[in-house]
Every structure is written in structure tokens, then in C-alpha cells.
Amino acid sequence: MTAAVRDRRVLLSELEQLVSEERNPRTMGIDLMSTPEIVATINAEDRLVPEAVGKTLPQVAQAVDAIVAAFGKGGRLVYIGAGTSGRLGVLDASECPPTFGVPPTMVVGVIAGGLGALVSAVEGAEDNAEGGAADLRAIDLTNRDVVVGIAVSGRTPYVIGALNYAKSLGAVTVGLTCNPDSAIAGMADISIAPLVGAEVVTGSTRLKSGTAQKLVLNMLSTASMIRIGKTYQNLMVDVRTSNEKLLARAVRIVMQATDCPEQVAEAALQRTGNDVKLAILTILTGLEIEAARAAMTKADGFLRRALEAGA
């Protein structure tokens, strides 16, 4: 028996143990269904995902607290994964700067095979454990960072290598998988493993598993940003006005927060250099810009605290 055959048999044995690789008894006849029946079946399976994610909320909250603590020490949130898992991490990271006004270095997405893997599969990249460690070294990972290893199977060598390297530095590690008894779930400091069950198409983990990952990543980044003062009420008060749509959104946010007319919101944004928090604070308190800026600094960037202090 050759080494390649032996390795393949080991992999087949491992896949046999994964929940995400099981066949779904509810979709065995999906190739005989009409189009309305197919989409109804997919939708019915998708409805199982939020419930599965809901059972992991204690672990999600634990991860959020670790991320907030990391941010407080100047650390970063680092997502790392291969294939669909890696793409979802990069997507979530890329949406944080425009949404919450944070620098692109604060939430980082790393994918096996590099950015080219976002649009084309890079064969073999996920099997390279040293590649995961090397990619974290390339971004100068430190023990202040939190590393979220994303892999549906929980056995991807690239992610295992990355988490091993992160742990060797003393960084907090989070494993986001859909197999609770996997290697990654066992090695991570915090394991988030929504059990979504077998996929509509066997092994196509971009479906329910990918949806579960997206829901968890949404919570990790959004809850962490809320905890560090990036919202006021449920408004994105640190939004960057980098295009006309976002500038219009900024005007609307100021109007919603202060109940002021459009012209007043626009004038306040012009005075503050499109700083939504300062615009709201100056309207609601009557403070001059420099005094408002000092109040925001004293409140550590939390608009609600600044408003309460000035009340």
C-alpha cells in the first residue's frame, strides 16, 4: 500500500465521523423534485440553522468578551480559514471598517492560498499546516490578538497549524466548526460548534454550515463593536462617509438620533468633518466642537456616556 493510498484511507475514515459529511434522509430524492419542491426543501433545512446557532450563544458571548479584552490591549481579531470558511472570515473583516469606522488592521481576515483564493480555489492550500502558521507570522501575530480558526469539519490542517502557532504565543484561540468533537474544537480555548446536521447536498458545507458560520461571525464582530462604543442605541455612529450612500446614511443617523431636520444634520456634519458622533453630541448638548471632542475623549469614545456626562 502506497503512502498516498494510506493517507486517503485515513481521510475517508475521518470524513465518516463528521456530522457535516452525513447524508440527509430528508433530501435523498431531491433530484426527483420540482423546482418549487427543491427550494422549499432547502428553505426548510435552512430554518434549522438559527436554532443550532442559538445553542452556542454562551460560547459566542465568551468569545466576544475575549475579543473586547483584546481590543482594550491594542490587540486584533484575526479570522483564518480555507475555502468557504476563509472567504466568510475575510468578508466579515472587510465590512468592519466602513460599518464601524475602525482601521482595517483591527479585524483581519486570512485565507489559505492568499487573496486569490477568494475567487478561485487554490488546490492543496488547506492541507498545509505550516502555511497557517506562516500566514499568522506574516501579519505579526502577538499574544494580544484573538485568533478565530474557521473550519466546518474541524480538521483542516491549515487551520490547525494556525491555531497551534497562536497558542504557542499565548493568544486566545477560538474554534468555529460544525463538528463538536473535532480536533479544532478540542484544541481551541473557546469552541463554537453549531450542530446544523447533514447538508441538503451531502458534504456541500457552503449551505447550512456556511450559513451558521456567517451568523456566528456576524455576532462576534457586531457584538464586540457594540461593546467598545461603536453604536449609540442601535445606530452606526462611527460609520465612515466614504461614498454618497454612506454620507446620506450619516445624515439620516444624525436625524434619527436627534430628531432634527435634514438641514440641521447636514450642517452639523459639515462643521464636524462628517464625524457622526460629534454631530449628534453638538446638537443634543449645544457644546462647541472642541468641547464636544474633549467630552468624547473623556468618555472613551462612547457617545451615550458623553451625553450622560453632559446631561
**Contact assessment for residue 130 and residue 162, using Cβ atoms and an 8 Å cutoff:** no
**What is the distance of C-alpha 95 from the center of its chain?**
9
The residues assigned a catalytic role are 95, 126
Checking DSSP bridges between strand 77-81 and strand 146-150, what pairing results, if any? parallel
The rounded radius of gyration (Å) of the Cα atoms in the chain is: 23
Dihedral sign, Cα of residue 72, residue 76, residue 81, residue 87: positive
Give the separation between CA 250 and CA 114, rounded to whole angstroms: 34
- In sequence order, which residues have a C-beta less than 8 Å from that of residue 95 and are 6 or more positions away? 221
Give the separation between CA 278 and CA 1, rounded to whole angstroms: 70
Give the separation between CA 190 and CA 178, rounded to whole angstroms: 14
Collapse the DSSP code of 186 into the 3-class scheme (helix H, G, I; strand E, B; otherwise coil) and give the result.
helix
Collapse the DSSP code of 276 into the 3-class scheme (helix H, G, I; strand E, B; otherwise coil) and give the result.
helix
- In sequence order, which residues have a C-beta less than 8 Å from that of residue 7 and are 6 or more positions away? none
